[in-house]
Amino acid sequence: MSETPTSIRWETLTKKQFDAIDRESAVVFVTCSPLEVHGPHLPLGADCLEGEGLAERTLRFLPERHRTRTFLKLPFLWTACDGVPQPGTVAFRPSTTIRALEDVGRSLAAQGFCNVMVSNFHGSPRHFLAIETACDRTSRKHGIRMASIFSLMLSRLNVGGSELGDVLGHIPGVSKEDFAGDTHAGLVETSQLLALHPQWVDPGYSKLPRRTVDLWLEETGRPRPSAPRGRLASIPKMVAGFKAGLQFFCEETYSGAPAGASAEIGEQILDTLASRSAEAVAEILDGALSREQWHSPFWKLRHIFVNPVAVRFFNRLLQVPRTVG
């Protein structure tokens, strides 16, 4: 296999360098993730950094036939919704995410770019469905290939939410049970940040106790939702799950067991996720994957999650703080 391709930071290009790019074959990556609180130990930009890390790692696993392409990386966008309701989080509406990415896609298409991959590492369905919506609209309107890497990954791994125990339990040194309730700034994200940017991880992570929504519900005597949070279920069950998670994160800043994290685990997590993402990206570039297959398992519910009227209704129903929704 030839040397792993690297992406070129868009903002570093001169006009002369930009004009030399074959825009039809080039692939543009942009990460769209929130700036939000990630426990007491991870940087506020964790999701942005992980999204960029996932995109960069995906290049390692692309087949030989795509390695001669030019890969460009736009600065990340932090227009995202449903961040942890804590000071430090900057929140947007799903409609803002959609419009921002539609504008990015429209501008790139007008310049002759045909391949745009949007990365992300924020597991809120409203956020990644907003990305999918923008990608789908742009692809159809402008005739380009614009897709959500995170959604492709969820589809390939056959998971419907942010708990990844079923697909990461094979990693040496951990078990499937270690990932139970690990949805935010826990074992998965702390390990990835230790692998990607250890200088920005507070060493106090190794002393943090395990905290999960279910543990908190038990401690506070609240009823436990009958459906797993973040997975496809009936609307009432999903609403109950999302409401429990929102209440939890009004008090807590992470869910999972960050103390068990390590850079070695992070490397294996990144490789596992990126290898499956690369399969789908390659098939899109080959034209072998139909547009209908570019989506997450939640795509069928997109109108419930990102329609502005539905967003306002569910924000009131869930009592979402205005700083978040």
Identify the structural domains of the chain with CATH numbers, from first to last.
7-318 (3.40.50.10310)
Question: How many whole angstroms separate alpha carbon 86 and alpha carbon 36?
Answer: 8
Q: Is 189's pLDDT higher than 70?
A: yes
| Helix, strand, coil content of the chain in percent (nearest 5) | 50, 10, 40
Q: Is 138's pLDDT higher than 70?
A: yes
Of these ranges, 73-77, 156-160, 214-218, the one predicted with the greatest mean pLDDT is 73-77
Percentage of the chain lying above the pLDDT 90 cut: 75
Q: Is 305's pLDDT higher than 70?
A: yes
Least confident of 14-23, 80-89, 156-165, 183-192: 156-165
**What interhelical angle do 235-251 and 213-220 show, nearest 10?**
80
Estimate to the nearest angstrom the gap between the alpha carbon of 51 and the chain centroid.
6
pTM of the model: 0.91
Question: How many whole angstroms separate alpha carbon 90 and alpha carbon 62?
Answer: 34
- pLDDT grade for 235, boundaries at 50, 70 and 90: low
Question: How many whole angstroms separate alpha carbon 49 and alpha carbon 321?
Answer: 26
